[in-house]
């Protein structure tokens, strides 16, 4: 029994902090301001500390929860994303008139679902965790109740998300029909025995599971919800869903496909290769045409999903570690960019058009410098973490012989530099000044951005330690 609770301790800490936020909201007097964000900070820091202290150990809780290095790496990653989101929300959440109690509680419950997705070895528990994560994000997307655009985005996200969840659940049903179990390890053993001549039921299970994961990571052609949801959601909610949801979905993707379905690699590799190539092309080409920065970053997120798929397709030791490294890289970089956007947003001006950044270096030179670094990292410029992450992904592809995917990845990455640098040019190289007031940045929010900045440069210059940890994490599930 003690080992059961040790395995779920990090998830339990985050869940209890979410419950503390709900209780404080229930007893809060009208117009009383409570520092509810600190409940989230304490819970997420506690979960990170618990995960770090258990590194190298392996526990199995309640038969389906696995506390191995892979799950611990994901715990630290998504908790760090949640922590940075809360820190950067100081100020923007109040300006957007978000109900802070609901906002922080939903965010923490979503983080708990993300942690559970990478910590289980049962497909049904992955589905439950997926819904816990998704329901919180659906509501957060429409949390700005006065915004018709936010309500529309939330509704679209919910409907399409429910549709994709049905595909995933059907995939689990077919997998159970094949193996008589939903346990990932037992499913892998059953499928490996029939890998030479897989039945139609096995193939259907694989395809339906792939569709469910492809929706969550915004892979083409299951990406249509992404631009509308990203544009309509509050800015930091957009940053949270673009990083945390992608990290959790890819972690579960890796655990299922590389642990339960490696025997079917010959069947799913061509499909994923085609999806990765189309995803990189669509995300880059359509992103170039966007004038709204949040929609542009949505298509950037789609393109980055294609890069991550390359590491999954490579399926070698370098590719598996590169996927985890890339998730950290994308998490801190993209969240930092959205943090700057949120800091500039006011209640009457979303500050999400390219022209809104005209002359930013004159009014807020610090924010302009921060945004420049984050955009250059997204584009893959050295010495940032984004450059190293892409280098490892493309190197893993070349080691596997995936030359066409690696070349396509490099070309689309070069093209994507255009829409990142367009914002930089608008900030520094235009004589016009965007109208309107630029709000002051609270110290807590600025601290969150600076933490992301330090991570971008530290792991860009000294990536070895993080890559070693990522390699150890992936090795623990094989």
Share of the chain above pLDDT 90, in %: 50
Q: Is the pLDDT confidence value at 319 over 90?
A: no
Instruction: Tell me the mean pLDDT in the region 252-275.
Output: 87
Among 141, 136, 111, smallest CA distance to 17 is for: 111
- What is the structure's pLDDT at 447? 93
Q: Is the pLDDT confidence value at 148 over 90?
A: no
DSSP codes, 91-157: THHHHTT--HHHHHHHHHHHHHHHHHHTTBSBHHHHHHHHHHHHHHHHHHHT--TT-HHHHHHHHHH
Q: Is the pLDDT confidence value at 108 over 90?
A: yes
Instruction: Tell me the mean pLDDT in the region 181-208.
Output: 81
Residues 385, 225, 208: CA angle, nearest 5 degrees: 90
**Highest averaged pLDDT of the listed ranges 44-58, 70-84, 354-368:** 70-84
pLDDT tens, 357-406?
A: 888 888 888 999 999 999 999 999 999 999 999 999 999 999 998 999 99
Instruction: Tell me the mean pLDDT in the region 34-44.
Output: 86
Question: Please, what is the average pLDDT of the chain?
Answer: 88
- What is the structure's pLDDT at 79? 96
H or E, element range at 65:
strand 65-67
- What is the structure's pLDDT at 111? 96
Q: Is the pLDDT confidence value at 115 over 90?
A: yes
Query: In this structure, is the dihedral angle defined by the CA atoms of residues 122, 169, 309 and 137, taken in order, positive or negative?
Result: negative
DSSP codes, 345-358: -BTTB---BGGGGT
Instruction: Tell me the mean pLDDT in the region 165-176.
Output: 92
d(CA 35, CA 25): 11
- What is the structure's pLDDT at 354? 83
Q: Which residue has the higher pLDDT, 476 or 114?
A: 114
Q: Is the pLDDT confidence value at 245 over 80?
A: yes
d(CA 61, CA 64): 6
Q: Is the pLDDT confidence value at 126 over 90?
A: yes
Q: Is the pLDDT confidence value at 328 over 70?
A: yes
- What is the structure's pLDDT at 435? 65
Q: Is the pLDDT confidence value at 478 over 90?
A: no
- What is the structure's pLDDT at 224? 86
Pair of tokens at residue 283: 């995300």
């Amino acid at each position: 029994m003690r080992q059961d609770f040790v395995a779920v301790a990090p998830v339990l800490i985050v869940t209890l902090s979410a419950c503390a936020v709900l209780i404080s909201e229930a007893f809060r007097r009208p117009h009383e301001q409570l520092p509810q964000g600190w409940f989230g900070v304490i819970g997420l820091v506690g979960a990170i500390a618990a995960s770090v202290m258990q590194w190298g150990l392996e526990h199995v809780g309640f038969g389906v929860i696995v506390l191995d290095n892979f799950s611990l790496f994901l715990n630290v990653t998504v908790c760090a994303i949640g922590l940075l989101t809360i820190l950067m929300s100081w100020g923007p959440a109040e300006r957007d008139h978000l109900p802070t109690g609901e906002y922080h509680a939903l965010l923490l419950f979503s983080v708990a679902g993300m942690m559970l997705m990478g910590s289980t070895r049962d497909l049904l528990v992955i589905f439950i965790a997926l819904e816990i994560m998704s329901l919180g994000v659906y509501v957060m997307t429409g949390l700005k109740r006065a915004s018709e655009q936010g309500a529309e985005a939330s509704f679209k996200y919910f409907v399409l998300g429910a549709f994709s969840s049905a595909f995933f659940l059907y995939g689990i049903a077919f997998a159970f029909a094949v193996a008589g179990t939903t346990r990932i390890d037992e499913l892998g053993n059953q499928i490996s025995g029939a890998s030479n001549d897989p039945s139609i039921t096995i193939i259907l299970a694989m395809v339906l599971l792939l569709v469910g994961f492809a929706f969550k990571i915004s892979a083409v052609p299951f990406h249509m919800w992404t631009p509308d949801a990203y544009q309509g959601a509050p800015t930091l909610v957009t940053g949270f869903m673009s990083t945390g949801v992608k990290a959790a979905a890819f972690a579960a993707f890796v655990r299922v496909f590389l642990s339960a379905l490696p025997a079917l690699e010959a069947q799913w590799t061509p499909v994923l290769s085609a999806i990765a190539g189309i995803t990189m092309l669509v995300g880059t080409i359509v992103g170039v045409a966007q004038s709204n920065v949040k929609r542009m970053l949505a298509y950037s997120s789609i393109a980055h999903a294609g890069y991550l798929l390359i590491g999954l397709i490579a399926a070698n030791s370098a590719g598996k570690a590169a996927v985890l490294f890339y998730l950290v890289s994308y998490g801190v970089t993209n969240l930092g960019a959205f943090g700057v956007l949120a800091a500039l947003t006011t209640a009457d001006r979303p500050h999400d058009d390219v022209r809104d950044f005209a002359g930013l270096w004159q009014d807020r030179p610090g924010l302009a410098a921060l945004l420049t670094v984050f955009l250059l990292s997204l584009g893959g410029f050295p010495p940032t973490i984004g450059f190293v992450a892409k280098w490892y992904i493309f190197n893993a592809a070349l080691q596997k012989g995936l030359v066409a995917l690696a070349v396509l990845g490099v070309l689309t990455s070069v093209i994507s530099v255009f829409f990142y640098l367009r914002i930089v040019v608008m900030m520094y190289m235009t004589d016009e000044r965007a109208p309107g007031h630029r709000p002051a940045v609270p110290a807590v929010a600025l601290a969150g951005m600076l933490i992301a900045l330090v991570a971008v440069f530290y792991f860009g210059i000294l990536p070895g330690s993080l890559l070693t940890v990522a390699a150890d994490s992936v090795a623990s599930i094989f």
